[in-house]
Amino acid sequence: EEEEEGEEGWCYQLYPGHIPTSPLQKALLAVGSAVMALRDPYRHDMVAVLGETTGCLALPSLRDKMKHHPEGYRILQERPRIRLSTLDMTKLQGLPAGTLGREYVRFLEDNKVSPDTRMPPKFVDDEELAYVIQRYREVHDLMHTLLGMPTNMLGEVVVKWFEAVQTGLPMCVLGAVFGPVRLSTRKLQVLATELVPWAIRSGSNASCVLNFYYEQRWEQSVESLREEIGIFPPP
Amino acid sequence: AVGLCPCRLLLLRRDGALRALRGCVRGLAAGPETHFGFQTVTEAERREKIYQVFESVAKKYDVMNDSMTLGIHRVWKDIFMHKMNPSPGTLLLDVAGGTGDIAFRFINYVRAVRERQLQQKLKRQQNLSWQEISESYREDKSKSLEDSQVVVCDINKEMLKVGKQKAQNLGYSEGLSWVLGNAEELPFDDDKFDVYTIAFGIRNVTRIDLALQEAYRVLKPGGRFLCLEFSHVSNPLLSRLYDLYSFQVIPVLGEVIAGDWKSYQYLVESIRRFPPQEELKAMIEDAGFFKVDYQNLNGGIVAIHSGFKL
């Protein structure tokens, strides 16, 4: 005698970790997570929730971009995951300097981050879109590497501007616009005069970053990959 | 209510059938079935899951209580303490007392009563001789708590940790002790306590009947059992608003404030699963208590049940 007291409940689960939510709950989550993320930018889980609850337009459009591109389509089929368990760290470290693999590992070490700390999606009500947002999160560190930006507040804001132009995710737009609130005036100046214009130019010029099978391009040099995608060299 | 959809019911039934099958096999090994929110689990699983819920929410427990009830839980607990009306010298056992809200209120209450008694005594003493005054100083050397004591018992280490830390921060030290224990099997002797309280804890106990029996056992004859718990709302309009708020807002608050949707989903489901006022009253009577009664607060959102060991 299981009751269905006005809530979809766990029986509606579309993927592991999925929590079905009503439109009202999504709206409340979006507002709540936005407020919390602004108050404490280190609440990555809130940034993630904001992305999921506001991405209902941007995610399908990203998915379609992937579907209509041969490499993107393959990614959607094969669903690769970037995780410490799937990466061969020793091999990547052994690659020559300047290659994507070597620079990515260098980035992880320098900033003391790991690809395993990405939140799995919970509030996306479509299993394929859940993968798309997961892929976007896992590719985020690679964006840092390709853009040459560290994980401090300034670097994150720059990457957010790039991602905002690229993906159209409201969470990226909000992060890009409100992130700088916490920066000093000197940094704001650098941001406004050099970094943001470059990020926007690169973002608009580049093809969709989710359409590249990075796991098969570790040996490619960062410069050539930048050129291929359409990212201008960082200032 | 949110609209039902046939495919959802289908999934529910299929899942239910699977569970029943598993349950049969498991039941032989792991014991009888019970509920965890709206799920069906074994008793052992339920205890484990509930332990994990409170382990996870312990640090944000107080913040969440304030957010979810908009601070009203403080009023409920104050009313609870006034109903108890303890006099100085009372020995209180607060079960599932976790972060100490009831214990601290108890200490404040008996301190205040004691202060009032002392003030009244002083007024009467205005015309005494020096000899009598110095004698009374010797008597009143004991601190205002005297021998009032509260033992906070909780099954969860994390909750106790938070409670101890709070006590330190707020400056409560004497008359307070913290014990790790299970409400279904209390680590205390018979006939020990004057008052037994369990505030927002009995809902999480797997065998309520055992907890009530234990409460009876450890209370002195003449002792009082007091339980503060979420209960059932009979008014249909209030009930619908309450449901809407519970199911739509509370898990969102859990996710946004504590980063934990599932624990707060469990919380609202467990409230719906808990026996209503009359049923709980009957269970308390079954454990041997007399003059069992209950008082609804806020239309039944919360109820205080009381009984005596005579």
Give the model's pLDDT for residue B36.
83
Give the model's pLDDT for residue B125.
73
CA-based nearest residue in chain A for residue B248: A25
- Of A112-116, A155-159, B144-148, which gets the smallest average pLDDT? B144-148
Rounded mean pLDDT, B211-222: 96
Give the model's pLDDT for residue B139.
63
d(CA B12, CA B205) in angstroms, rounded, equals: 26
CA dist B290 → B93, B123, B286 (Å): 19, 40, 9
- Between the two ends of chain A, the Cα-to-Cα distance in Å is 64
Q: Which of A35-44, A202-211, B91-100 has the highest mean pLDDT?
A: B91-100
Whether A25 contacts chain B with CB within 8 A: yes
Q: Are B101 and B162 in contact (CB under 8 A)?
A: no
Mark yes or no for CB contact A49/B269 under 8 Å. no
Mark yes or no for CB contact B248/A22 under 8 Å. yes
- Of A108-112, B2-6, B189-193, which gets the smallest average pLDDT? B2-6
Summarised one tens digit per residue, pLDDT across range A28-78 is 999 999 999 888 877 888 989 999 999 888 999 999 999 999 999 999 999
Rounded mean pLDDT, B62-80: 93
Rounded mean pLDDT, B253-275: 90
- How close does chain B come to A12, measured CA to CA in Å? 7
Rounded mean pLDDT, B183-210: 95
pLDDT, greater one: B271 or A42: B271
Mark yes or no for CB contact B8/A45 under 8 Å. no
Of the partner residues B8, B247, B257, the one whose CB lies closest to the CB of residue A12: B8
pLDDT band at A11 (very low <50, low <70, confident <90, very high): low
What percent of chain B clears pLDDT 70, i.e. is strictly above it? 86
Quote the ipTM score: 0.81
- How close does chain B come to A151, measured CA to CA in Å? 23
Question: Whose CA is closest to A163, among A103, A67, A155?
Answer: A155
Whether A42 contacts chain B with CB within 8 A: no
Counted residue by residue, chain B has a size of 310
Q: Are B247 and B238 in contact (CB under 8 A)?
A: no
Summarised one tens digit per residue, pLDDT across range A141-198 is 888 888 888 888 888 888 989 999 989 899 898 888 888 887 788 888 888 888 888 8
Of the partner residues B15, B16, B256, the one whose CB lies closest to the CB of residue A33: B256
Rounded mean pLDDT, B126-137: 74
Summarised one tens digit per residue, pLDDT across range B23-66 is 444 444 456 888 888 888 888 888 998 999 898 889 889 998 99
- Which chain A residues contact residue B247 at CB under 8 A? 5-7
- How close does chain A come to B287, measured CA to CA in Å? 27
- Which chain B residues contact residue A19 at CB under 8 A? 261-262
pLDDT, greater one: B182 or A153: B182
Rounded mean pLDDT, B63-74: 92
What percent of chain B clears pLDDT 90, i.e. is strictly above it? 61
Give the model's pLDDT for residue B146.
66
3-state secondary structure A55-98: CCCHHHHHHHHHHCCHHHHHHHHHCCCCCCCCCCHHHHHHCCCC
pLDDT band at B255 (very low <50, low <70, confident <90, very high): very high
Query: Hey, of A11, A40, A117, which one would you mutate to test binding to chain B, going by the most B CBs within 10 A of its CB?
Result: A11
- How close does chain A come to B274, measured CA to CA in Å? 13
pLDDT greater than 80 at residue B17:
no
- Which chain B residues contact residue A43 at CB under 8 A? 259
Of the partner residues B40, B256, B259, the one whose CB lies closest to the CB of residue A2: B40
Give the model's pLDDT for residue B217.
97
d(CA B194, CA B196) in angstroms, rounded, equals: 7
Q: Which residue segments constitute the domains of chain B, with CATH numbers given?
A: 51-130+148-309 (3.40.50.150)
pLDDT greater than 70 at residue B141:
no
Q: Quote the mean pLDDT of chain B.
A: 86
* 3 state DSSP class of B208: helix
pLDDT band at B145 (very low <50, low <70, confident <90, very high): low
CA dist B254 → A25, A104, B258 (Å): 12, 35, 5
Of the partner residues B1, B12, B252, the one whose CB lies closest to the CB of residue A32: B252
Q: Please state, as a whole number, how many other Cβ atoms lie within 10 Å of the Cβ of residue B169.
A: 8
Whether B256 contacts chain A with CB within 8 A: yes
Mark yes or no for CB contact B11/A12 under 8 Å. yes
Q: Quote the mean pLDDT of chain A.
A: 85
pLDDT greater than 80 at residue B5:
no
Mark yes or no for CB contact B12/A2 under 8 Å. yes
pLDDT greater than 60 at residue B294:
yes
Whether B262 contacts chain A with CB within 8 A: yes
pLDDT greater than 60 at residue B15:
no
Residue B224: in which H helix or E strand, if any? strand B219-230
Of the partner residues A24, A46, A122, the one whose CB lies closest to the CB of residue B256: A46
Of the partner residues A6, A29, A35, the one whose CB lies closest to the CB of residue B1: A6
Domain assignments of chain A as residue spans, ordered by start = 23-229
Give the model's pLDDT for residue A142.
87
- Of A108-112, A115-119, A140-144, B273-277, which gets the smallest average pLDDT? A115-119
Of the partner residues B12, B15, B255, the one whose CB lies closest to the CB of residue A29: B255
CA dist B147 → B116, B144, B151, B244 (Å): 17, 9, 13, 46
Rounded mean pLDDT, B246-266: 91
Whether B29 contacts chain A with CB within 8 A: no
d(CA B284, CA A193) in angstroms, rounded, equals: 72
Q: Please state, as a whole number, how many other Cβ atoms lie within 10 Å of the Cβ of residue B167.
A: 19
Rounded mean pLDDT, A3-14: 52
Pairing of strands B302-308, B219-230: antiparallel
Query: Hey, of A3, A4, A5, A31, which one would you mutate to test binding to chain B, going by the most B CBs within 10 A of its CB?
Result: A5
